[in-house]
């Protein structure tokens, strides 16, 4: 899913359910905006980074009450504002559908987002009128199913919705603080792949108590830091195995590089999460990534 993200956005996905991932990502380019619509059939946590010259508005289309965006629950009429250069964190239950609308800085929609963003923090939540939220979500669904919808000016519709939007009354500072704790821990783990990391060490890195660390991960990703980091490591192993091109390297090499030393347990956890053994992933990758056969003179 992350590989399909466009318009300069970067994303990282970690699935939480032990079954094969399925979903869909559709990108529609209009004259002044880019609309990307996602459907996730498996519960995931995701991290999305917005490039420095774009504003992003994340709009729920189908979302359950258990969804968490930037450590806050999301309602159907809420939209998450992401300023240029910021990141947003989310827990999406199975069946979630949402759209990411990106606009250039300096555009009319971006100026309105700037105003709203100033009211509810760099990455906060604005509330649309119920009829506006329904109209916008319906237009996005039509775009996704038809790719182009005659008579639907998504830019004009977006500006109209934003003109009537109001910041949501919520504890933004606390939510942003919890997301920042998660961000610090993730950045540290990226720099120390394969090293044993205790909760005590991670709480020290984040500058909070162990209890605050656990609360932050539950608020942002609805799971414990220990479980999330185990799943994150398994996903990193999977990406490494799927990028294999030759006979060099083994499952053992990749697993131990990422901190898995009990190989039997690792293989069981990997298969439970992804629906195939790590050796199967590696074999598929080697077959898929074979160089083109040379012709015979």
> Is there a single domain that holds both residue 28 and residue 106?
yes
CATH of the domain at 238: 1.10.10.60
Q: Look at residue 169 in the predicted model and tell me its pLDDT.
A: 58
Is residue 296, in this structure, part of any structural domain at all? Answer: no
> Is there a single domain that holds both residue 131 and residue 215?
no
From the list 71, 70, 73, the residue with the least C-alpha distance to 82 is 70
Q: Look at residue 296 in the predicted model and tell me its pLDDT.
A: 42
- Dist CA 18 CA 296 (whole Å): 46
Is residue 127, in this structure, part of any structural domain at all? Answer: yes
> Is there a single domain that holds both residue 164 and residue 250?
no
> Is there a single domain that holds both residue 45 and residue 89?
yes
Q: Look at residue 32 in the predicted model and tell me its pLDDT.
A: 78
- Residue 179, SS3? helix
Percent of the chain with pLDDT over 90: 56
Residue ending a domain, choose from 168, 187, 208: 168
> Is there a single domain that holds both residue 126 and residue 175?
no
> Is there a single domain that holds both residue 47 and residue 134?
yes
Is residue 295, in this structure, part of any structural domain at all? Answer: no
Is residue 11, in this structure, part of any structural domain at all? Answer: yes
- Dist CA 69 CA 84 (whole Å): 17
> Is there a single domain that holds both residue 180 and residue 258?
no
Is residue 297, in this structure, part of any structural domain at all? Answer: no
Is residue 60, in this structure, part of any structural domain at all? Answer: yes
Is residue 56, in this structure, part of any structural domain at all? Answer: yes
> Is there a single domain that holds both residue 110 and residue 199?
no
Is residue 247, in this structure, part of any structural domain at all? Answer: yes
> Is there a single domain that holds both residue 260 and residue 219?
no
Indicate the number of domains in the chain.
3
Burial class (CB in 10 A: 0-12, 13-18, 19+), 173: exposed
CATH of the domain at 133: 2.60.120.10
For 205, the domain range is 171-223
> Is there a single domain that holds both residue 37 and residue 164?
yes
Helix 199-206, helix 172-191: angle, nearest 10: 120
- Dist CA 154 CA 181 (whole Å): 35
> Is there a single domain that holds both residue 50 and residue 197?
no
- Residue 97, SS3? strand
Residue ending a domain, choose from 168, 189, 211: 168
* pLDDT by 10-residue block (mean), the chain, 297 residues: 90 90 88 89 94 93 93 90 91 95 90 78 77 90 70 79 80 69 92 89 93 94 94 93 78 92 94 93 83 47
> Is there a single domain that holds both residue 46 and residue 123?
yes
Q: Look at residue 92 in the predicted model and tell me its pLDDT.
A: 96
Residue ending a domain, choose from 168, 188, 209: 168
């Amino acid at each position: 899913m992350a590989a399909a993200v466009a318009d300069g956005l970067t994303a990282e996905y970690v699935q939480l359910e032990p079954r094969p991932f399925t979903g869909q990502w559709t990108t529609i380019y209009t004259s002044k905006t880019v609309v990307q619509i996602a459907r996730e059939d498996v519960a995931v946590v995701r991290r999305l980074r917005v490039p420095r010259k774009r504003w992003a508005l994340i709009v729920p289309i189908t979302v359950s009450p258990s969804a968490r965006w930037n450590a806050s629950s999301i309602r159907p009429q809420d939209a998450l504002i992401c300023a240029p250069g910021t990141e947003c964190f989310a827990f999406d239950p199975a069946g979630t559908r949402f759209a990411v609308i990106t606009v250039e800085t300096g555009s009319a929609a971006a100026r309105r987002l700037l105003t709203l963003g100033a009211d509810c923090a760099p990455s906060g939540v604005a509330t649309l009128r119920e009829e506006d939220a329904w109209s916008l979500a319906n237009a996005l669904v039509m775009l996704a199913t038809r790719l182009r919808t005659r008579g639907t000016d998504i830019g004009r519709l977006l500006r109209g919705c934003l003109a009537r939007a109001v910041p949501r009354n919520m504890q933004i500072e606390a939510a942003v603080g919890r997301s920042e704790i998660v961000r610090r821990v993730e950045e540290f783990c990226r720099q120390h792949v394969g090293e044993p990391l205790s909760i005590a060490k991670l709480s020290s890195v984040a500058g909070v108590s162990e209890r605050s660390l656990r609360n932050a991960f539950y608020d942002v990703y609805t799971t414990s830091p220990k479980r999330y980091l185990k799943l994150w490591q398994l996903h990193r192993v999977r990406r490494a195995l799927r990028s294999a091109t030759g006979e060099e390297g083994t499952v053992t090499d990749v697993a131990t590089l990422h901190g898995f030393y009990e190989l039997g347990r690792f293989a069981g956890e990997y298969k439970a999460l992804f629906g195939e053994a790590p050796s199967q992933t590696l074999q598929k990758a080697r077959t898929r990534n074979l160089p083109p056969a040379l012709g015979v003179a």
